[in-house]
Amino acid sequence: MCSPLDKNLPDAPISNSLGGGPWRPFWETLSPHAAYHVMDSSPLNTSSVVQPPIHYTTPPPSLLTAEAAGGSPTSSPLLTISRSYPPRDTETYLLCPMYSRLSRFYTPKGLDWSPSQLIGTAVHRGIVAYYTKSSTPLPAAREALEAGFVPQEKHTLEGIWKSIERGVKLGIDVDLTGGGQRTLVCAEEPVYSRRADLVWRTEGRLIVQDLKVRLSLDADKLPYALQEAEHSWQLHDYAYHYGLHFGEPVEWAEMVLIILGPRARVVTHPVHMTPERLAQWWKIAPVIWARKAEDDAQETPPQNWAICDSRLFYGQPCPYRPFCHTHRADWRMTDTLFDKKGGE
């Protein structure tokens, strides 16, 4: 059966004015009868409200942060979805809706502290400081480390610092400016609740970069890591939303892989964000966001048992298995099994 979306989204290839004249987003070529508003948490200039298919409405209030709440409930004869969700939320939802819920609010008690996230944050901080010239790279990275370090027995602050220092130097040495051909547009600027690492402009086109820090990646695994960029939700989401925000096409979205071992190096993988590619993504995204909104409104969201024992969770099985399987998703066990995030 044809969904409401099918009636209003064009089939690829999408005609677009990329070849000449002022750029227009592909959705401006859609049916003038379709209604579209973005009622997201981010400031949208209402003059840029365009004509296509989806009506964003307010998310279920029980699961909203104050920052995310925006807009008023509305309905659409086409399709009603709560809102768009940032890439990280969507990716964890696609992995497992229950994991998405639990990891947002709870940390399993007794889980070993891992420095990987902190190393990534600090390396980002240093590299962004370098390219924006906002502060000195290594002190900026060190400050992030000291702010996030959790004293424990396994990892020392100085040991972690060596990895961070290596990552920052790699990100600087590789020269993300394309030999000075690119002009920095913004860095970590919030756009529609997204925060791309670096956005550049060259020859009238935008390039979005996402920095990824890997503590270790063997050479034989590199092709698989790069292949992921081709269908990375995050890169497509950034290309779409930063293009919308700046009113010009994001032509390339690049994954910048900063590999700290066993052989330290940086590998960049650019993905050409053609209108056809983004149109395909746009066919999928609102459907997934709508499903996520529905699942978020349920007390117990769906569980993806197919991945519980996989190593998709930072190289480990899912840390919420005792809750889901030993305690059969009994919400009365949360105080026993979990610490609330943010110390609430």
* Interacting residues with ligand SF4 (CB under 6 A): 96, 98-99, 102, 303-305, 307-308, 318, 320-321, 324
CA-nearest of 170, 152, 162 to 268 is: 170
Q: Give the nearer residue to ligand SF4 in terms of CB position, either 3 or 326.
A: 326
Composition of the chain by helix, strand, coil, percent to 5: 45, 15, 40
Q: Give the nearer residue to ligand SF4 in terms of CB position, either 96 or 140.
A: 96
Q: What separation in angstroms does the CA of 72 have from each of 59, 250, 339?
A: 9, 30, 33
**Least gap, CB of 321 to ligand SF4 (angstroms):** 4
Q: Give the nearer residue to ligand SF4 in terms of CB position, either 106 or 289.
A: 106
What angle in degrees, to the nearest 10, is found between the helix axes of 233-246 and 275-296? 110
**Least gap, CB of 328 to ligand SF4 (angstroms):** 11
The Cα–Cα gap between 99 and 116 comes to 19
Q: Give the nearer residue to ligand SF4 in terms of CB position, either 24 or 291.
A: 291
The Cα–Cα gap between 273 and 308 comes to 33
Q: Give the nearer residue to ligand SF4 in terms of CB position, either 99 or 242.
A: 99
Residue 341 DSSP label: G
**Least gap, CB of 330 to ligand SF4 (angstroms):** 13
Q: Give the nearer residue to ligand SF4 in terms of CB position, either 238 or 320.
A: 320
Q: What separation in angstroms does the CA of 156 have from each of 5, 102, 115, 160, 335?
A: 53, 29, 10, 6, 30
Find out whether 109 and 337 touch, Cβ atoms under 8 Å: yes
**Least gap, CB of 6 to ligand SF4 (angstroms):** 31
**Least gap, CB of 102 to ligand SF4 (angstroms):** 6
The Cα–Cα gap between 115 and 144 comes to 12
Is cis: bond before 77, omega within 30 of 0?
Answer: no
CA-nearest of 108, 96, 88, 84 to 300 is: 96
**Least gap, CB of 309 to ligand SF4 (angstroms):** 8
**Least gap, CB of 99 to ligand SF4 (angstroms):** 4
Residue in the block written with tokens 């399987």 = 325
Mark 267-276 as b/e (b = at least 16 C-beta within 10 Å). Answer: bbbebebbbe
Structure tokens at 183: 């002009």
Q: Give the nearer residue to ligand SF4 in terms of CB position, either 10 or 108.
A: 108
**Least gap, CB of 107 to ligand SF4 (angstroms):** 13
Find out whether 192 and 244 touch, Cβ atoms under 8 Å: yes
Q: Is 120 helix (H, G, I), strand (E, B) or coil?
A: helix
Q: Give the nearer residue to ligand SF4 in terms of CB position, either 136 or 310.
A: 310
